[in-house]
Amino acid sequence: MNVVRACLTAVVAIFVWTTAAWAQDYPNRPVIMIVAFPPGGADDATARILQEPMQRALGQPIIIENVAGAGGTLAAAKAAKATPDGYTILLHQNSLAAAMTLYPKRTFEAENFVPIGLVNTAAGTLAGRGDLPPNNFDELLRWAKTPGLNIKFGHPGVGSWGHLAGVLIVQELGMPVTQIPYRGAGPVLIDMLGGQVDMGVLSAIAAAPQVKDGKLKAYAIVGRKQFSGLPGLKTLVEHGHKKLDFDFWHGLFAPAGTPRPIIDKLNAALRTAMNDERLLKTYAEGGMDRFPPEEMTPEAAGALLKQEIPLWGEVIRTNNISSQ
């Protein structure tokens, strides 16, 4: 028995020593950052703005790999199966939480990821076409009670944040809508400008120039903070709708089993990057905010993901939303 115990102790000691040595040498080659959505959107922009200062902090290049499709689940599945050595990380968002309910045949669970840290939030806006009758939030609520009204509400695709946030918003506000899916946020904006859809949840940074030109109307900020690009526009919570207290966020994750010392190095590089002046300026101009330092820990990222799984799960089940 003593021999067995001694052997086990030796094995554990070798594992701990090997892991520590491995982590000390990390990184010694480029790191791949999988992004769950295609170029041109907020996810890709977030990754590319983060890329340069974070790779500078790590001392190795970060290579961005866009793996789009199936509401971000293709990227999540690829990251979950990657070797847990710190050389493959995943940039994802709220839809990772939604996928746990929306995609029952997925090949991963939340437990297949280790959080690295939260990156940013991005302001959204409840917007409408420029010739929509209501001119402000209160008028919108009154207009929504018009007998026989059916609002065409565009969204970027089933299970997207714009879709699920929109479902929550119209339920809370009592708006009669028909949800119209698109392949991405860009086409929603184009058709709203063209009058084919009435309303939707748009990126605040994308909507702001159109609002200023009178081509769109903005009724409220979707998120926890006002957006400087649409000054004076209140959040939905500030309008008294406390159930709509949520943000569109991005976070970094690694495959489960990635050693904690490596996670700590990645988190430290993320924190350093998030203090970069150029990054902060670019994010601010894009309607994005970094998380407070106390919320940039791996534990905070894990807690937010865990918190949002039942939130979006309830929305999906209550409204019989299907990925099919």
Same domain, 238 and 181: yes
Residue 222 located in a structural domain: yes
Query: Is residue 1 in a domain?
Result: no
- The span from the CA of 68 to the CA of 178, in Å, is 26
Q: Read off the CATH number of the domain in which 46 is found.
A: 3.40.190.150
Angle formed by the axes of helices 260-273 and 42-58, nearest 10°: 110
Number of H helices, E strands in the chain: 11, 11
Q: Encode pLDDT of 292-318 as tens digits.
A: 999 999 999 999 999 999 999 999 999
pLDDT tens per residue, range 133-170: 999 999 999 999 999 999 999 998 888 899 999 999 99
Same domain? 207 vs 177: yes
Q: Examine the fold and report which residue of 211, 244, 277 is the final residue of a domain before the chain moves on.
A: 244
> Which residues partner with 201 through β-bridges?
126
Domain contains 292 = yes
12 belongs to a structural domain: no
53-57 contact pairs (CB < 8 A, 24+): 53/272, 53/273, 53/276, 53/278, 53/279, 54/269, 54/270, 54/272, 54/273, 55/31, 56/273, 57/268, 57/269, 57/270, 57/272, 57/273
Nearest to 215 by CA among 194, 186, 234, 242: 194
Using an 8 Å Cβ cutoff, are 43 and 36 in contact? yes
**Amino acid found at 125:** T
Do 49 and 102 lie in one domain? The reply is: yes
Same domain as 145, residue 40: no
Whether 300 is covered by a domain: the verdict is yes
Is residue 230 within 8 A of residue 204, CB to CB? The reply is yes
Q: 3-state class of 147 per DSSP?
A: coil
Q: Which domain holds residue 164?
A: 124-244
Is there a single domain that holds both residue 62 and residue 118? yes
Q: Can you give the pLDDT at residue 21?
A: 57
Is 145 in the same domain as 42? no
- Encode pLDDT of 234-274 as tens digits: 999 999 999 999 999 999 999 999 999 999 999 999 999 99
For residue 27, CA distances in Å to 55, 64, 149, 266 come to 10, 16, 58, 9
* Assigned domain for 323 exists: no
Same domain as 212, residue 168: yes
Same domain, 57 and 205: no
Task: Give yes or no: residues 112 and 131 share one domain.
Answer: no
Asked, for residue 216, whether it belongs to a domain, the answer is: yes
pLDDT of 69:
85
**Does some domain include residue 155?**
yes
Q: CATH number, domain at 216?
A: 3.40.190.10
Cβ neighbours of 283 (radius 10 Å): 22
Whether residue 207 is found in the same domain as residue 145: yes
Residues 6+ apart with CB under 8 A from 38: 44, 66, 68, 184
At 186, the pLDDT band (50, 70, 90 cuts) reads: confident
Q: Number of folded domains in the chain?
A: 2
Question: Which of 215, 244, 273 corresponds to the end of one domain?
Answer: 244
Question: Which of 244, 259, 274 corresponds to the end of one domain?
Answer: 244
User: Do 175 and 259 belong to one domain?
Assistant: no
User: 318 pairs with which residues across the strands?
Assistant: none
Two tokens, residue 203: 């990126």
Q: Is the pLDDT of residue 13 over 50?
A: no
Tell me, yes or no, whether 297 and 204 share the same domain: no
Q: How confident is the model at residue 70 (pLDDT cuts 50, 70, 90)?
A: confident
